Structure 1
């Protein structure tokens, strides 16, 4: 039988454990040195002899004190050190929560990202918070958003339902970028979230048989992605921000943990979901360190 003293010791120990875990999740793991998560795969029908390294950064969520312009510049150095052929940005540059000590303006985070360098260039898409944080774009129901203008001002192209054809060693590869699937918030005239994505229209712009890599901020599009696409890259979920034993209790996806994190293969179609770099809603990461993706194809 537990004594009163034993019970108080148990309660006190439990409280200290919870406090320590909370402090770690808020103040330590989000600031750990960024992990480079590496994948190597050869998708079905990938051209023989074509080797391509892609570095992907997702969900920066620029804000103070966690994702300052200085920290973004450090991430840029880490990304450049991976010797990628191509660097892609998977959206959500805007802070996604009110619990911040100060803003990092679009001009500041875009200026830091302008340091990204790769032989085949740097391409980007936008995320839901890049739309939700732009009141004018929400009222207009259309862009360009502040985030898009900031990226383009520093020379980083933004693909919204558009494609870019690149060449490496004389072989072509298409990068297709979707507009955001949750771009417009509900209003009196819009009963739910409205996406601006057009998958069919985007892929219709691919004009030859070269492989296609799709950039889609939210992974929920994946069930409708055709096998014509060699690889889909997504962010948005942050791996749930809290992840234990391969499971995330809360995932911002209608598919739950199905597309929460990592490499997913369905019917010979490949999806990689980044755990991202920042966070939204609450400043917590546990079991999901900030990460840069390094993907070797071929």
Structure 2
């Protein structure tokens, strides 16, 4: 289970999930939250948020034809002052120009609709299609509901097509028009935690700050997120509206070419490597990542009930990498 935190750019409760894939739980305190003070913790979090958003956007856009859940997306990552703790909120307001529950642009990945519309970190969205976005009660304790209501208005506007935004940038009011594109319809959340962990619940992808920080390159981060995205692509996680839980399921309709031998983690390793390759990331990063991960985390050196050992996974992924390279050399589509 991932506990509820109030410092990340999306604050959600997650119930009833099991750790998976690259993410077998382990402790790595040096890669968790920076203890030097609230401003530095905010800097650490937002830098990781921006990096995760960048990689997640490329995976989402490149694999839209494989994702069972699709939406019209601006490709941005948004946050608000109201979701930060009282300790972090003043620094978020100063650094990003945030105000209450109004969404601020945390990241506008290169090439995304948000980027093409000229949006940049520090912009605060105050209206969409002339409809104001609520500031809410600035004195409340940290909560996500106010931002969520504003995000729902933005999502509804984008679902209908291009949307006109009114934004505040450096004290000036600007107008821009965002033309969304189809992308995988899964939110990606960074959770402040010292556990080396990532998860999927059928609706979202989750990665801890420790695991995001452990990834030495965007290729390694794409490997982790691609694995979790593969779980959702393959229907391994089913979202239950009642109780708000992600449950592990067996999809009887899963394409046997994707589902292979029935082992969920092996399937997600294979398909995830394809997803990262389709997004332009280097699949040769997979095997070295797993061997380095095993060197720093004894838990993954041995097999568990759901996971093979890190060494076995590395060897298998080298075979998948060769499979992908052979398809490229033959001019074939890179599809799992």
TM-score strictly above 0.5: no
The TM-score by the shorter chain falls in which range?
A: under 0.3
Relative contact order: is structure 1 or structure 2 higher (C-alpha 8 Å, sep ≥ 6)?
1
> What TM-score do you get using the length of structure 1 for normalisation?
0.28
Structure ranking higher in helix proportion: 2
Structure ranking higher in strand proportion: 1
